[in-house]
Structure 1
Amino acid sequence: MKILEIREKTVPISSPIRNAYIDFSKMTLSLVAVVTDVIRDGKPVIGYGFNSNGRYGQGKLMRERFIPRVLEAAPESLINDAGDNLDPHKIWNCMFTNEKPGGHGERSVAIGTIDMAVWDAVAKIAGKPLFQLLAERYGNGTPDRNIFVYAAGGYYYPGQNHDKLKDEMRSYIDRGYTVVKKKIGGASLDEDLRRIDSILSVLGDGQKLAVDANGRFDLDTAIKYAKALSQYDLFWYEEPGDPLDFELQATLRNYYPNPMATGEDLFSMQDARNLIRYGGMRADRDWLQFDCALSYGLVEYLRTLDMLHEHGWSAKRCIPHGGHQMSLNIAAGLGLGGNESYPDLFQPYGGFPDGVKVVNGHILLPELPGIGFEGKADLYAEMRKIAE
C-alpha cells in the first residue's frame, strides 16, 4: 500500500466582495488529489482536499517541500501498524520533517490541505464516512450527524444597499438558517449599526445575527464597537482585533459581556493555546473558530482539541471557519458545536452534498464514503479534472 502521486492545482475563487481587511478579487485556493495504489470498485482510491477561503493557494510550498517528502519516504513508513491503511499521523510527521517550530504562516495551509486529502483517502480505504471513522477512533463511537450551521454573508460589495442586504439575509432564513452573519469594520460605525438594524428588522423569533470585524480594529475602535453592539442580542462579536493580539481580546471582555468569537487565523495548537491562556476567552459563552484546513490539518486539530480539554473547554464551543465538508465531518465525529456555511459564496468549494437541506439551523450529514465530496456534483467535477 502506498501513495503513488500527490497532485496540486491552484484555482481561482475570485469575487468582487470584501470584508473589513481584504477583498477577494484575486483570491485562489489549492486543490489537491492524493492518488493511492488501493483499488476499490475497479478504480484507485483518491483522496481530495482544498484550503479554505481567505488564504491563497500554496502550490509552490507543496511542490518544493511537502509533496516530495511524502513521495520519497519508504511506503511502509507511512502506513498503520496493521498494514491495512495509510497513517495520517505518520504522513504528517513526514511532511513536517526538517521544519523549525514557530512561524506557522503559510506552511500550515499547505500541510493542512494535503492532510485533508489524506484523511479522505484513509476513510475511503476503510470504507466509511470520515465522521464514523473519527467517532470510532477519537470520539465516543457514535457520531452525531445533525449539525448546527450558520450562514456567512453580509460582505461589502459595489452597489450594495440596505434593501439588497435585507434580501440576502431573508434568502438565508428562507433556506432554513436561524443564524446569519454580516461583516463590520468596512464602513463607519454609524453605517454598520444602520446595516445591523436593517438585518434585525427581517429576523424573527429564535433567529440571530453574528458580526465579524476580520481583525480590523485597534483597541479603542474595538471598545467603541463593543459598547455600541452591547445594545443588541448578537450571536457573537467576531475577531475584533489582530488575531495574535491576545491582550486586546482579553481587555475587551471588560466592555462586552456577550459572546465573542475568534481563532480562524490561528494556525497551530500552540497559538490556540496562547489564546486560551492569555486571550481572556470565556468557556461558558465564547466561541472558537480554528479551521483545520488552514492550521496543519486534522492531525493538528486533534492536538488542539486535547489542549482545550485540558484547559476545561468543551469541543461544543468550537464552530470552525471555512464552510467546508471536512469540518462538517469533524463536527459530526468529534462533537463540535457546528460549522460555518457559505450558501452562495466560494462555490463549488463551499456548501453541502447535493440534496442536503438546512432545517431549523441544522443539516443531516449523509453517509458518504470519506469526506463525501463525491456527493456534491459541481465540486466533484472539479476534483475529477485534477485526478484525471
Structure 2
Amino acid sequence: MSIVDVRDTVVPIRSRIRNAYIDFEAMTVSVVAVITDAVRDGRPVVGFGFNSNGRYNAQGLLRDRFVPRLLRAAREHPATLLDPSGANLDPQAIWPILMRNEKPGGHGERSVAVGVLDMALWDATAKIAGVPLWRLLADRFNGGAADSQVFVYAAGGYYHPDKGDAGLREEMRSYLERGYSVVKMKIGGAGLDEDLRRIETVVDDVLDGAADRLAVDANGRFDLGTALAYGEALGPLGVRWYEEPADPLDFKLHSVLSERYPGPLATGENLFSHLDARNLIRHGGMRGDRDILQFDPALSYGLTEYLRTLDMLDQHGWSRRRCIPHGGHQFALNIAAGLGLGGNESYPDVFEPFNGFADHIPVESSLVKLPDEPGLALETKSELYRSVLKPLAQL
C-alpha cells in the first residue's frame, strides 16, 4: 500500500472575539487529506488533519516543503512509509522524512505544518488498522489501558465588543446546561479591577461561589510585575488554574511566579517541541503536584513529537495526568484517552466547525466518552465532514 495524494485547503474560523493578545478577525486553519490506496468498506482510506486555533494556516510551508517530501518518498521509496508488516503506514517513520533537511531549533510555524500532516497520518493508520486511534495508542504505548471517558472543560469567556457581564454570565450558564462543570475565561485584556469584577460575576452568579470550577487565561500577556499583581489577587480566590501568565519562553518569569503564587499554574500551548517542553520543566519552576501542562499535539509537530514529550516527562517524574492539551479537538481527545492524560480542552461555541467532539456523544459532568469508529472519527462531526472534509477528499 502507499500514499497516492495529499490535498490541502484553508478554512476561515474568523470571529469578533479577542483574548489578551490577539483577535480572531482573520484566523484561518489548514486542513489536509492524505489519500491512500488502502481500501476499507469499498472506499479508499483517507486521513484528515488540521491545526488548532491560535496559529494561522500553514499552506505555504505544506506546499513548498512538507507535502512534496512526503509524495516524493511515496513515489520513489514507498517502503519507507510503512511499518514492518508492510500493510500499514508508520507515522513515526514518516516524521523524519518530513523533517529531512530541516535545521534544529527555530520551530515557528514549521511545527504547525508537520503537526497537520502527522494528525492525518495517524488518522489513516488507525483507519487502516480498523480501530479508533485511542485504542491503537493504548495498545501500542500504554499497555492496552485506555480511559473510557475524558475530563473536558469549556473554554470561552473571550472579550467581545457586544458582550458585558450579563452576556458573560449567560455564556457560562449555557456551558453548565450542556454538561460542563468546569469552565475557563480570558483575563489580561482589561485592567485588573475589571477582570476581577468579571471573575467574581462568574464565580458568584454562575458557579455558586465555587472558584475551583473556573480557570483563567492571560494568553501570555503579562510582564513580571503584572503577573505577580494578578497572582496576588487570584490566590485568595482559589481559581482552578492561572494560565499562561507570561510569554511561554520566559522560563525565569514563570519560575519567580511559581515561588510566589501558591495555586496551580498552566502553560505550554505555545511550546512546539519536546526540547522546549523540557526547558519549561527544567527552568520554569513548574510543580508536578499541582501545575498543568497544555502542549498541543496539533501545533507541536504532531503525536510523534508528543510521544517524545511524554517520555521526557516520565524521565522527570511527571505524571501524564498533569497534561491537559490545548486545542479542543478530537486528535487530543483520542490521545488523552489512549495515553492516560488528565483531560482535554473544549470549545463549545467558537472555532466552528472544528470545535467539539462527536455529535452523538454528550458531555456529562465535564466528562465525555469517545466514539468507536476507526481513526479520529472526525466523520462523526457532521458539519465538519459535510462542509470541509468530504469536499476536500472528493469522496
Q: TM-score, normalised by structure 1?
A: 0.99
8 Å contact from structure 2 (residues 203, 209) kept in 1 = no
- Residue number in structure 2 paired with 1:350: 355
Distance, in Å, in 1 between the alignment partners of 2:271 and 2:22 is 17
- Residue number in structure 2 paired with 1:72: 72
Asked if 1:98 is matched to 2:104, the reply is: no
Q: Which stretch shows the higher mean deviation, 117-126 or 348-357?
A: 348-357
How far the C-alpha of 1:361 sits from its partner, in A, is: 1.0
Distance, in Å, in 1 between the alignment partners of 2:335 and 2:186 is 26
- Residue number in structure 1 paired with 2:254: 249
How far the C-alpha of 1:175 sits from its partner, in A, is: 1.1
How far the C-alpha of 1:98 sits from its partner, in A, is: 0.2
Distance, in Å, in 1 between the alignment partners of 2:97 and 2:114 is 11
Structure 1 residue ranges (4+ consecutive) displaced by more than 3 angstroms after TM superposition: 204-207
Asked if 1:186 is matched to 2:192, the reply is: no
Distance, in Å, in 2 between the alignment partners of 1:354 and 1:184 is 30
How far the C-alpha of 1:205 sits from its partner, in A, is: 7.1
Superposed, 1:1-388 pairs within 5 Å as 1-73=1-73, 74-201=77-204, 202-204=206-208, 208-381=213-386, 382-388=388-394
Distance, in Å, in 2 between the alignment partners of 1:45 and 1:62 is 21
How far the C-alpha of 1:356 sits from its partner, in A, is: 1.2
Deviation string 1:219-273 (CA, Å, 9 cap, x unpaired) is 0100000001112111100000000000000000122100010000000000000
How far the C-alpha of 1:143 sits from its partner, in A, is: 1.1
Distance, in Å, in 1 between the alignment partners of 2:363 and 2:43 is 33
How far the C-alpha of 1:145 sits from its partner, in A, is: 2.5
Distance, in Å, in 2 between the alignment partners of 1:177 and 1:199 is 14
Unmatched 5+ residue regions in structure 2? none
Q: Secondary structure at the match of 1:254?
A: helix
Q: TM-score, normalised by structure 2?
A: 0.97
Distance, in Å, in 2 between the alignment partners of 1:355 and 1:81 is 36
Distance, in Å, in 2 between the alignment partners of 1:285 and 1:377 is 37
How far the C-alpha of 1:191 sits from its partner, in A, is: 0.1
Percent identity between matched residues is 62
CA RMSD between the two structures:
0.8
Distance, in Å, in 1 between the alignment partners of 2:384 and 2:302 is 20
Unmatched 5+ residue regions in structure 1? none
Distance, in Å, in 1 between the alignment partners of 2:151 and 2:143 is 19
Distance, in Å, in 1 between the alignment partners of 2:385 and 2:374 is 13
How far the C-alpha of 1:368 sits from its partner, in A, is: 1.4
How far the C-alpha of 1:140 sits from its partner, in A, is: 2.1
Give the number of equivalent residue pairs.
388
Question: 2:221 is matched by which residue type in structure 1?
Answer: R
Distance, in Å, in 1 between the alignment partners of 2:69 and 2:164 is 50
Question: 1:334 is matched by which residue type in structure 2?
Answer: L
Distance, in Å, in 2 between the alignment partners of 1:97 and 1:320 is 27
How far the C-alpha of 1:144 sits from its partner, in A, is: 0.8
How far the C-alpha of 1:146 sits from its partner, in A, is: 0.6
